[in-house]
Structure 1
Amino acid sequence: MGDRTAFIGVGVMGEAILAGLLRAGRGADEFVVGVRRPERGAELAEKYGVEVLANIEAAALADTIVLGMKPQDLGGALEEFASVLRPGQLLVSLAAGLTTAFIESRVPEGVAVVRVMPNTPATVDEGMHAISAGSHCDEAHLAEAEALMAATGHVIRIAEKLQDAVTAVSGSGPAYVFYVVEAMIDAGVLLGLPRPIATELAVQTLYGSATMLRETRTHPTVLREQVTSPGGTTAAALRTLEDHKVKAAFISAMEACRDRAEQLASGK
């Protein structure tokens, strides 16, 4: 590909995508990094061998720009370099909660915007990325965004109105999983296991269970019932989870996540 892709706002997720593309065989000369802090630029140049420029220079040079800054910083960043953007350029936004309309209102007419809800397993090439097209996107723009994100995991296309729900399920989802595993490890220690053993048991159980879900494509209820003998130990544990309304708590938590994403979009 002769086109250059710029990464502006290279935080955890932006760096994960850049690193994944390089691991997948893309050349460092295909990418440029825009930075505001020279020390961060030096770090990225040394680590990945990419060209580092000021944000406005990177934006002017590139055909595709990955916007990886925090949602609250995106508006200010666009003000900094919107003047050098041109119709046909593609902006791929990783900012949670912010709509394509928010970005389109701050850039020249005809700049294409794709909104992405990624997640942190992208750092190990097992991300789950949902993408939505803005009003000036064509199939080529969507395909380009898909190719960028596919280097670090799975990609699905969704209607933008579903993005806040995606944030609640997969965007913030890794934190829920880590929270549950943390609880399992702490419980194992409470029950007398050394912490390293409790950790290995819990992490491998999670990994194996997730692999079963993906490879067998069996409904989780069926897989759960296969572990749950009538009157057995698992049934006793699950009854306690039901008594504490754990499923209801998860649903409420994810609704709160969706609601917070909506608030971010409205600038609150």
Structure 2
Amino acid sequence: MALKESGSAALSATHSVLVRVAAVLALIAIWQLLVLARLWPPAVLPGPGQVWDQLLAASDSGNGQGGYAGSTVLERLGVSLRRVGYGTAYGVLVGVGLGLVMGLVPVVRAVVEPFVTFLRALPPLAYLSLLVIWFGIDEEPKVYLLLVAAFPPVAVATATAVTGVNRQYLEAAHALGANRLGVITTVVLPASAPEILTGIRLAVGIAYSSVVAAETVNGADGIGGMVLNAQRYNQTAVVLLGLVVIGVTGLLIDTALLALQRAVSPWRGRA
């Protein structure tokens, strides 16, 4: 029985991958058809081949430009992923901690939730200027921008998950002699983990989509900086290349988080 379920799960995962690959290929085909139809000039809508050529050129450190404007695509991606990683990690720590308090203490939730909702409603560019005034133009405002963008969805997801934990589990843990900290670590957090991971997936997506905004300030070495620099010189193929790189790596990160979520809560979707 277990072997049958394992085989079914593997088949389902393979089918999901094939569907995603087919969807990507269909999108590229539609893109190429639009280029061949010449609805827009190549300067406005370059073809997939032009973007591929730009990828090869920007990945070659020996092309006389060090890739693109002194850095290869891989180097730029590494810089942006580092910023997203730091910002998201700090955001998750703040969001989970604050969400736990909000979920366990109703008074705190009533006081803090409007502030968290207020931050969720703000686009990153709205407070970027303020962060630059406070922290300068080095790495700090970029990381803080991604932190502020990332922690609200985690806090909301954590608070909602904590308040939804079955009270019978909490009572059973108390009856078995667990203290408050023990109940939180052995009951509340494991039961809330799937929803917390959903919040983390949202946070990573928001932080990654905000990296271009974060790199408008002294961030020319990142992938967002490449997009902004190419936009200034109307290099549409390079802009599309940056967007594709951001989108593909974001998809890979989300797929990894989804696999982690399924590993943590394999029962979800089977009830």
* TM-score (normalised: structure 1): 0.25
From the two aligned structures, give the one with the greater helix fraction.
Answer: 2
* Larger of the two Rg values belongs to structure: 2
From the two aligned structures, give the one with the greater strand fraction.
Answer: 1
Q: Higher relative CO (CA 8 A, sep ≥ 6), structure 1 or 2?
A: 2
* TM-score (normalised: structure 2): 0.25
